[in-house]
Structure 1
């Protein structure tokens, strides 16, 4: 089976390829890379060549000349594009910050701006995939993952599934902190968990192992909470008040003042850091002198990237360093591989995914994309029923979903009113006048 990776020059593509090499199932017979930047994809192909060295049965890699060539004949398509590159991300961050509101890649005004720029390109990909590979499953990595998956689903229906490693990373870290073996989570006869929300806005509300509910004991134990990322981010007092473990990105909502204060006067936004780091990597890699040197450079750069993830939120919550368990996370590569195997093997595996709502959250439209626990088979991912949401959870979900749907509408129809509505209604944007100025400046600087 052919796997196509769109955004094949992306920095994390080697993680996917390494997972494929380590995969005992070996479902993939060829990897096809496509990227709009020939230099980047050439460097990443060299990193993959180094990973394949000495492997008894390496997966062949090919770089496609164009999008149609990459899509034709694909069994799975991983879409991990970045429209506008890191320069676009910098604008998404800096323009809102200049107006005193949060600028972030997927959250707040920055997420809306990124969505407006990305959705038209994602829709074109969906249309070409439907025409050239109608039986392929499209796995969307592209941020903002919820709204991009929602837009693509208008063309592909249930054959597009969004993934994120934040929820599964949270579940694993919570299980370990509660004294359970995270490996047991893979056995549905032993373990269960209730996670529901939108992408980068969800809550782990139950975690059971062998019939025992682990979450209340974990929430009551400050030492255990202090042993993992989300516990340190939110603090025991607030977590006990919520009665749940929030996704790490909810720190922007619950502690908006502290996070904004930590980033408002920053000399370097996350986008600026990545622009310098990755730009430097690709420049040095081009002159590194062989796959071994390029691979070593990639590994050093990757570790630095992971260590500095969400640095401003950590600064706002006490200024601590990520440890090995925090760095482990969920892994896009492992989530994607597990999803692919579950579809091919018709296994009924349970994964947290971004899929059409159906009746999971009755207050949302059936076609709205939610992030929740799904059962995966050859027919795709089916969201499982969940306990009713609390009013505060549902209220935040409804408001942010309205923002996501307005962003899709604005991108589809070039509707300024919908774009203004998306920005002004976001919980992290405090004024329609501010939203209008952000939109005007973004249009000028595009």
Structure 2
């Protein structure tokens, strides 16, 4: 009997197959289809889409079988699990011999409940580390929580009077978030981050109006809204996603005044034939336009423009477009290899500037490039990437960016 003929039929049991580490009770907790409800193909499809998004699951599908009683059916969710204890790594270089890396280890299916727990260590001239706990389904299909601790230290350029100074920057923070997902396509995060920023002058230009030491305690109020309509099939993605991030930051020092910042990432993925995937991400962001050398948006190798270098500029507004074509050359049961060609481009508004800054040639960076992806299809996020970006705008650099996971 087809599902269209069985709309008034009832589910008598829900079973989970193929899972080993993932708890069947967890799958049943987050599934819309439960014993006693009417059989609904739309709910079945939605459950499978949600399952395929989970870090612990490489692939999922459902089956429906008649029970012993007429108009009653058993639903089976078939699971192909991912291996979920995963190292993370990001490495980048530029042609001025800059080298930095971040490594970490994360468990994405703690206790068989799709809880993420782990941490990272970063070496970017100075050492940094962080610990993260994220349990999006801790209380129900809709409600969870996250806690993050970070002690991040980097050498940051500060730009003023057409000159540059380098500071040792430290950000120590602890953050708590409430995670709420009202339905399949939409989710919200609400939270508070308490942090301390510490700037210490190292070398470069000076100005009496620019302090050489700063230590400021701050509170950050955060709201994230995501609309996600992406369908996953192993390394292939198709659909649209929008993530809006809004933050209000208080301060105890006028040198680092309070400010508001918001940005939106729009991502679009399209299947091209059987082996191609076109992927694009557009970021639009604005912050309070303080004329400060410590502006919040940065131009950075590992964040937005591959090959550009480590925090080479700052601004109070940002427009960045990343677009690339990924083609799968090898596709086996457990392994795939992709090649990609990309163009990363962006522009920034200068601190205290105006919207005309986005069109200023000095603020525009365009970096085309090529890369490779080595993908383990049964290990979550096990995509090792190598990208080489080459700048074609004035005073550009070039360099490699290595990492685990797609760039976006």
User: Shorter-chain-normalised TM-score: which range?
Assistant: under 0.3
Which structure features the higher share of strand residues? Answer: 2
Question: Scaled by the length of structure 2, what TM-score is found?
Answer: 0.25
Which structure features the higher share of helix residues? Answer: 1
Question: Scaled by the length of structure 1, what TM-score is found?
Answer: 0.24
Point out which structure has higher relative CO (alpha carbons under 8 A, 6+ apart).
1
